[in-house]
Chain A
Amino acid sequence: MIFTLLCKAARRWQPAEAKTILVMKLTTMLLLAGCLQLSAAGLAQKVSVTGENIPLKKVFREVRRQTGYSFFYNARLLENAHTVNIDAKGMDLQELLDQCFRDQPLSYAIVGRTVVVRPRRDESPTTPSPAPLLDTAPARIWISGRVLDESNNVPVSGANIVIKGTQTGTVSGKEGDFRIGINPGEVLVISFVGYKSMEVRPAGVAPLTVRLRTNKDPLAGMVITGYQVINKESFTGNSTTVSGEELKKVNPQNVLQGIQIFDPSFSIAVNNLSGSNPNSLPVINVRGSTALPSGNGDVLSRTSLASNVNLPTFILDGFEVSLEKVYDMDINRIQSITLLKDAAATAIYGSRAANGVLVVTTKAPREGKLQVYYNYELNTTTPDLSDYHLLNAREKLDYEVLADLYTRVGGISQDDQDVRYFQKYKNVLSGVNTYWLSQPVRTTFGHKHSLYLEGGSNSIRYGVDLRYQTAPGVMKGSTRDRYSLGMDLAYNPNKTFLFKNVLTVNQVNSRESPYGAFSDYARMNPYFPKTDTAGNIIQAPDSWLIDTHQSGSGQYVTDVALNPLYNATLHSFNKGSYLELIDAFSGEWNIAKGLRLRSLLSYTKKKTDYNTFISPLANEFYFYPTSLLSKRGSYNYTTYDESTFDGNITLNYNRQIGDHYINVLLGSNVRTYSFDAKSFTAIGFTNDRFTNIGFANSFPDQSSPAGALSRERLFGTLLGINYSLKNRYLLDINLRADGSSKFGTDSKIANFWAVGLGWNVHKEDFMRQYRAISQLRFRVSTGLTGSVQFPPYLSKTTYTYYSTNWYSTGVGAGVISYGNETLQWQRTRESDAGFDLGLFKDRLIISPRYYYKITNGLLADINLPPSSGFLFYKANLGDMANRGYELGLKYTVISNRNWTVNVFANLVRNTNKILKISNALKAYNDKADQAQQNNDSLRAAPLLRYHEGQSLNTIYAVRSLGIDPENGQEIFIKRNGSHTYTWDVKDIVPVADATPKVTGSFGTSVSFRRFQLNANFFTILGGKSYNQTLVDRVENADPRYNVDRRVLTDRWKKPGDHAFFKDIRDLGTSNLSDRFVQNDNQLSLQSVYLSYDCSSLFYSRMGMKNLRLAFTMNDVFHWSSMKIERGTDYPFARSFTFSVQTSF
């Protein structure tokens, strides 16, 4: 195409002035020999010219006088020339000429020792302007060369090579090679998509090699701390930066999921209950837990342990936001995400830093003509039910017989039981084999449109973004729809000031599936038909009489099997929505060179509503006696109102003085947060149609509206010094003082600090001989950070009003908590050491890390004798340590003209150890013992226990030898080592550690011409887990409902069976034993990404500037050494996204 332009341009040259051409022709002939000698030496002539408004002629004269170069021009041409201002002392001739011709309608060429002056060709191809005919151009020379990628020396084909200021040019070939004819002195501009364009001035006719630098995001190689941007080379903190583009390639639907691939230290807990529910927020920790789950003292089952006390702090464009905000962000708006991990990186966040800080920056508008970016995604999800292995109708009925369900019970005779059996058998024979699992799930199609406009002049830039995104979940009816609008305005009246305002509005609507819990479908018997003969859904397809073996009237109870599908036919709903408004205003003042004052004020307002309506006809009310019919149906309304103000002011000074580079940051920040919640429930609905709360009949007995209001305030001042000497020796010092309203009155202000040292060995002179080592940097850091993720007011003695129970002499107030005035923040001392090694021009990069984190003053309950009037109070008692290794590997396997293949692996291991705990936690262990002894439902679940020296992930159970082949009973090992058939809670010991040996991600990215393929795997190796499926769905399976296949195949049936599971006839509850602790190794293919950048021939016809088509698959494949039902309440999903990205 460039050639076409070239030809067109050539044709247009015809009407050029004949006289000029003639002269030029002559000159060309005369100076042809000299042209070949064009050399750098000739150009290095030094000239000194000074003066204002000097005519060009005069400059030429002066040059000729000083250098002996002659000038060749048409005198008429100079009539249009401007005078020039020059102050040149010993300036290169060429530089001087460049200056003189910069704004002239003329250009020049040096041929031998002659300077040829000629008219400048117009840039617009439609306006013809004089230029030499190419074929006859007197000074024309042919330059050949190759275009290579600087990073890997791969030839770049298709790069544009254009003579600067012209439309003339060519395109590089397959080997990156090109050949172009230029006039001497002309400059070549080489550009290609994805690379920075480059200018080259050919020196002679020698072949050129042009190395293009990839046009990565301008912040690549930089660390964004949220307060400032620091060069990664000179930073000693430990961080991971990922661009929004890279994240999108991993998971376009979930920002957070992608981060885990780039740094597995950012650990997202596997949520086996909520699976892929789009409305469930992940539980995250960075480099292990630094706090204990502080609950209400209830016994915690390990599987339900969902505490967010270890959540990292999220910073968006400089101010703190919630996890939900990041979860709901439009990934297209993200410029980059930086995970700050160690103390040196996070200490400037002081009391909020102990769990790491995730800094998100969004794209800022760039100047230029109006640019429109558009992105469309089509997302399909399908439920992943591959972990369910249930019995079919016939097998299920066989199992029921084996479990002795059809023998005489209570008043039901054997004949009646036989009738019941044969009715079901009839169903089986008639082909009823309902696949209940598929009933509540679906394949979904979600859409996302995001549009971004930007543009503006040097002084005013604007950006507008719009998003519409639906994310339906695989359970029918569940969804999370997001809408957002953003307006970004930047104004810099001059180079000194910059003002920016960003306004964003988000609306998120969520809805839970009316189908209820997925587990209810997994237990439905396949011989139940879905509907009766008339096509109606049967609410109660079956009922069982159960002998509880208790004396008295409670001996026989009726268990009615209710159809969960019935609920879905009703008008019940459970939905939520929030509207969030954020305005962030910032001002920047460049006071002097290197000195900058910056201030940011942001205000966030968020209103959330939840509405839950349960129809009066729902299964939940099936057992209501007739006297309570008017109380069926319920409606709960809950609303949260949150507002946050976050402001900071920073003064930044950076300067290079000789070999010293210093960057100082001084600042302070203020944050206030208030939370106001209100909630009430109404009951008694007449029918299923009127779902408005106004139809409710009354409030539940003894209930009153609930409300809570809390406020948090935080204030901090910070000082950060980043210093490097010769870019070899690095030093970081961070100090922060924080005041928080959560601290006790005795200690309102806390101090935090961090020091980091680094050494860029590869910059040392002595390293030059080791050519293989392209990068070697050592870094160590240590520091103290804090965590205040505990509820406000713990430090205060508080009273609550007995507002619903007045005394006859007025309302009363009673004390509810003992406020510990000495309460402090949790202090985490973290040390980190590691190095980065780059070999063979960084073709292989290895970066291992080691860290040790010790948290002192863990917030814990201290039990009091009740005679003190309180049962416990909060104090800083307890220590916990986390130790970890991280290893990052990156290798460029192939990199040639067409192919680039990179592989990477990120591996982490974190071990956790409880060093000291409070008496309340010790008492909690007893409580767990007691609960497990008394409560049948807890007896088969591993409860959380705390023991000094153990990990928070330790699994506690009774040791087991397995099932006795003689009688099908389990043999336990007592604490003293003897064997017994009797389970005793006192024999519970630590049996395994759930901590995996390695958690990691690995993958590859392959690019072939315009195609790109990325694949990322995630793996967990060497951990142990308690397989709850084996317990709930096989061992303790209720034979009256559907169960895992292994019930039929793996349970003990007759003496001599070497079985893993107990007697198939045994309907009792098996207790917690280490028989169910299994190796937990997992491998999942988290994402596969394939993209194609369309050729410009194609998209430019449609007026586009680029066009990329991409396809992503997420969670396609999951393998686990442990056969466990995953996603019990909500199934996991496989997700496929097709996206189109373009700009106009």
Chain B
Amino acid sequence: MKIFFWIITCGLLFSSCKKWLDVKPESQISKDELFNTPSGFQEALNGVYSRCTQDDIYGEELSMGTLEVLAQNYTMPAQDKMGYLQTSLYNYKDPYFIARKDSMWKGLYNAIVNCNLILENVETHKSMLSAVDYALIKGESLGLRAYLHFDALRIFAPSFGNNPTAGGVPYVTDFSNTVTPMSTVTQVLTKVIRDLIDAKTILKPVDPILNAGYIAGYPGDKDDPETASPTLFQQNRRHRLNYYAVCGSLARAYLYMNKKDSALSNAMEVIGSGKFPWTKTADFISADAQTVDRILYKELVFAWYIPSKTAEIVYLFEGGPVSFYIESNAGNTLYETGGVGGEDLRFKQWMKPVTDVSGSRYELQKYIQDKDKNRHPLMAPALRLSEMYYIASECTYDTDPLKATSLVDSVRFRRGINTKLTVTSKDEFLGELVKEARKEFYGEGQLFYMYKRLGRSIIGLSGLGIPATNKVFVLPLPNDEIEYGNRN
């Protein structure tokens, strides 16, 4: 009978060993294991940024790809090698367009679920993390969640100005396999703003960018404060959603919701911080690959780090008449070379004239890197200092038109336009503001949002406007979202 005893004991021993059956994958890592160490949290947050730099969202489609095509910034060649022709014609039934738009949605929400996983776990592991790390991880995750939802809203829902009670997008705040219901445009914006305000509060006491000596510089500079931190995780604050990036995003969201006072105060907080010095003309148009700063690096309040796309950028912009380019006349019109823009540094530096079988055209130089000897890493701008000026300007026009134009002028002067802006009406002012933004944000994916927010017709390359309708401005939800989320 002794043997029975042993067998039963062994049996019990094994069956109680649930832990033994809990096998951990090794080339991947399970969620629970990742969030078991401070570095795991850091990796999870870095992962959100890495995810965002993929082609389907900020690595291409939301920066230089689809959104720019929709904003009519590129000439579409007849030989449609990249498959954007139908997109430029707003044919939302085109398979290329559908595939890209669907993956934009999937990409944004996949990045969001990564944020939610961090937020879900960060509270329970608070004691494990240092105060700074905890705040940076929580604040940035909240901020990113809002940032990503805000872009999803701006792409897939009518604008606030157009219909504030229209169905917007789902605002997903937890990690689960259940369907999150749709929120209206107003609801989404409210949630975006709430998350951003939370992020701002959390980041304010700890964000290294608020340190007195932290002023944007170039990585190679002596004592560059941005790469001074001994921990990699706390370096390069402008590559992540830092405190000012949250302020800037708030300014954007408030303006979208037509809350101009709050928009203005947030924009002014960024402008007044003095953290983002204007780029020296010499640096901008330098002919020397080692000193040239084509992206206006120091003015980036927040940008995505995308050096892995260096080769792809060449394909996108320098691949001959099948890549993205702008036909010469249209480019000249855009930068008003016959008028105020004769000396526009942006035109000079970014628009490279090329003449070949397709005629004469400009290739965009903004993203071009020279191998191994650049002043800054390749970045996809997400939030520029100049945008803060434009927002501030728009918010002050109603009360102080002169101050408004002077804010725009202060950007124009830096770009080589020495003519002061004079406008006679709000409409004319907004027209000029759009023109200015188009020059500044060319290839950055911001213009589409602006046309949509203002409800202004999109300026086509031929000069003809594309009427502002939701047929153009609201990209349809992916079929999978409609079907599996029961969206109507």
Q: A residues bordering B, Cβ < 8 Å? A: 552-553, 591, 597, 649, 651, 666, 668, 670, 707-713, 715, 717, 737, 739-741, 743, 745, 748-749, 792-793, 796-802, 804-816, 818-820, 862-871, 873, 919, 923, 934
Contacts and interface: CB of A to CB of B under 8 A. Distances in A.
B342 interface: no
A799 B481 contact: no
24 contacts: A651-B3, A668-B11, A713-B20, A715-B17, A792-B23, A797-B175, A799-B47, A800-B29, A807-B53, A808-B235, A811-B46, A812-B43, A812-B47, A812-B48, A815-B113, A863-B483, A864-B484, A866-B102, A866-B106, A867-B105, A868-B176, A869-B110, A869-B114, A870-B110
B7 A867 contact: no
A923 B483 contact: yes
Contact of B31 (A712, A797, A802, A869): A797
Contacts of B46: 806-807, 809-813
Contacts of B4: 651
Interface string B47-82: 111110100000000000000000000000011000
B223 interface: no
Given A713-B20, A808-B239, A819-B31, 14 more contacts: A649-B7, A651-B3, A710-B25, A715-B17, A743-B21, A799-B28, A799-B29, A807-B305, A810-B42, A814-B110, A815-B47, A866-B478, A867-B172, A870-B177
A864 B486 CA distance: 11
A866 B169 CA distance: 12
B17 A805 contact: no
Contacts of A814: 47-48, 50-51, 110, 114
B169 A867 contact: yes
Nearest to B31: A797
B150 to A, nearest CB: 15
Interface of B: 3-4, 7, 10-11, 14-15, 17-18, 20-31, 34, 40, 42-51, 53, 78-79, 95, 102, 105-106, 109-110, 112-114, 116-117, 169-170, 172, 175-180, 232-236, 239-240, 305, 308, 377, 478, 480-481, 483-485, 487
A818 B53 CA distance: 22
Contact of A813 (B40, B172, B180): B40
A583 B487 CA distance: 59
Majority SS of interface residues in chain B? Answer: helix
Given A710-B25, A869-B114, A739 B105 contact: no
Contacts of A649: 7, 10
B21 A713 contact: yes
Nearest to A714: B21
B481 A798 contact: no
A737 B15 contact: yes
A797 B110 CA distance: 14
A869 B118 CA distance: 14
Contact of A815 (B117, B180, B235, B481): B117
B389 to A, nearest CB: 26
Contacts of B176: 868
A788 B235 CA distance: 47
A595 to B, nearest CB: 8
Contacts of A863: 480, 483-484
Given A745-B22, A809-B233, A867 B109 contact: yes
A813 B484 contact: no
A868 B113 contact: yes
Nearest to A667: B7
Contact of A867 (B24, B48, B180): B180
A934 B95 CA distance: 10
Contacts of B20: 713, 715
Contacts of A709: 25-27
Contacts of A749: 15, 18
Contacts of B377: 808
B481 A865 contact: yes
10 smallest A-B Cβ distances: which pairs? A869-B113, A865-B485, A812-B47, A812-B46, A812-B50, A741-B23, A797-B31, A814-B47, A709-B26, A813-B43
A739 B51 CA distance: 36
B34 A813 contact: yes
A919 B484 CA distance: 8
A994 to B, nearest CB: 30
B21 A812 contact: no
A91 to B, nearest CB: 39
Which of B4, B25, B169 neighbours the largest number of chain A CB atoms within 10 Å of its CB?
A: B25
A814 B117 CA distance: 10
Contacts of A740: 21
A739 B18 contact: yes
B21 A748 contact: yes
Nearest to A742: B23
Contacts of A717: 11, 14-15
Which of B18, B24, B27, B45 neighbours the largest number of chain A CB atoms within 10 Å of its CB?
A: B27
Contacts of B170: 865, 867
B43 A868 contact: no
A870 B78 CA distance: 36
Contacts of A812: 43-51
Contacts of A868: 109, 113, 172, 176-180
Which of A552, A745, A864 neighbours the largest number of chain B CB atoms within 10 Å of its CB?
A: A864
A810 B113 contact: no
B10 A798 contact: no
A85 B485 CA distance: 93
Contact of B50 (A737, A797, A805): A805
Contacts of B236: 808-809
A869 B43 contact: no
B177 A864 contact: yes
A670 B13 CA distance: 12
Given A799-B44, A802-B47, A868-B176, A807 B106 contact: no
A798 B23 contact: no
A871 B34 contact: no
Nearest to A701: B311
A597 B117 CA distance: 51
Given A798-B29, A800-B28, A807 B50 contact: yes
B112 to A, nearest CB: 6
A805 B52 CA distance: 12
Which of B46, B49, B234 neighbours the largest number of chain A CB atoms within 10 Å of its CB?
A: B46
B217 to A, nearest CB: 15
B437 to A, nearest CB: 27
Contacts of A810: 42-43, 46, 232-233
